[in-house]
């Protein structure tokens, strides 16, 4: 099993550009999550998907959209990137009764 | 909402014990976790404790929970250089999807 994979690993965007961060898991987990990690602030939940076909806002959803394409894939889209979205983005997945498994992260810089 | 606080930095000598502390605010918290993040990697679950337990031991790791004071600690015995990482406390409350992470404690192990 590859676990949770994320692409790309690194990305630099200019303000106003758009991009999609991809996440996939091969563990047949129901729930998937997107977090951002900023220095001194821990992890903050952006969006989550409790099951295929559903998505819900987390703590900091503004400026982001998500798609739960199927059970395996959960993507995060930045429509118009801003410097405040410079961060490390983590995807995680979780089965019904177990804890979260994290991907390796995407380091995004918006200039 | 839930607030989870940790000190940002801890430095210990190799072979000593490390104690990383965490406080939280929601008394209805059900599961409390410790995650480890190595440089450039995602978070990895180290251990967790149910809220009806006071202590859990797993090899070199001991988790202590004081529910009255809403205080959680992680003790690492015989700390090694490979234990150098950021350690996150996380607390589940208000439903199984809602997990709040602390800011993380960076553990530096001095040889």
Q: What gap in Å lies between CA B101 and CA B62, rounded to an integer?
A: 19
Count of H-run helices and E-run strands, chain B:
0, 11
3-state class (DSSP) for residue B18: strand
**Is 90 exceeded by the pLDDT of residue A18?**
yes
Percentage of residues of chain A with pLDDT beyond 70? 98
- Contact call for A48 and B102, based on CB within 8 A: no
3-state class (DSSP) for residue B82: helix
Window 37-76 of B, Cβ < 8 Å to A: 40-45, 48
Phi first, then psi, for residue B85 (nearest 5°) are 180, 180
Q: What gap in Å lies between CA B70 and CA B24, rounded to an integer?
A: 6
Q: How far is A28 from chain B (nearest CA, A)?
A: 17
Q: Which of B42, B97, B104 sits opposite A102 (nearest CB)?
A: B42
**Residues with Cβ within 8 Å of residue B108, at least 6 apart in sequence:** B9, B10, B11, B12, B84
In chain A, which residues have their Cβ closer than 8 Å to the Cβ of B104?
Answer: 42
Please report the pLDDT score of residue A99 as a whole number: 81
Residue with tokens 């149910």, as numbered in its chain? B50
CB of A68 within 8 A of CB of A49? yes
Q: Which of B44, B48, B102 sits opposite A42 (nearest CB)?
A: B102
Question: What are A48-60's pLDDT values in tens digits?
Answer: 999 898 999 998 9
- Contact call for B44 and A102, based on CB within 8 A: yes
Phi first, then psi, for residue A85 (nearest 5°) are -95, 5
Question: What are B2-50's pLDDT values in tens digits?
Answer: 789 999 999 999 999 999 999 999 888 888 999 999 988 889 999 999 9
Selected for mutation to probe chain B from A34, A99, A107 (highest B CB count within 10 Å) is: A99
Q: Nearest Cα to B14, choosing from B88, B82, B87, B106?
A: B82
Question: What are A65-91's pLDDT values in tens digits?
Answer: 999 989 999 999 999 999 999 999 999
């Amino acid at each position: 099993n590859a676990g949770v994979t994320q692409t790309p690993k690194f990305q630099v965007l200019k303000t106003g550009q758009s991009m999609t961060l991809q996440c996939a898991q091969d563990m047949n987990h129901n729930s998937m999550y997107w977090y951002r990690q900023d220095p001194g602030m821990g992890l903050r939940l952006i969006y989550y998907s409790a099951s295929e076909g559903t998505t819900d806002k987390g703590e900091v959803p503004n400026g982001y959209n998500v798609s739960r394409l199927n059970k395996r894939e959960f993507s995060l889209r930045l429509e118009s990137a801003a410097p405040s979205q410079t961060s490390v983005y983590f995807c995680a997945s979780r089965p019904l009764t177990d804890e979260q498994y994290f991907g390796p992260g995407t380091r995004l810089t918006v200039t | 909402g839930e607030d989870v606080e940790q000190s940002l930095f801890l430095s210990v000598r190799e072979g000593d014990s490390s104690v990383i502390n965490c406080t939280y605010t929601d008394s209805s918290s059900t599961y409390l976790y410790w995650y480890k993040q190595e440089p450039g990697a995602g978070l990895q679950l180290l251990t967790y404790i149910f809220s009806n337990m006071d202590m859990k031991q797993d090899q070199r790791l001991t988790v202590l929970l004081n529910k009255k004071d809403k205080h959680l600690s992680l003790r690492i015995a015989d700390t090694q250089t490979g234990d150098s990482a950021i350690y996150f406390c996380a607390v589940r409350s208000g439903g199984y999807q809602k997990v709040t992470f602390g800011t993380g404690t960076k553990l530096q192990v001095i040889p």
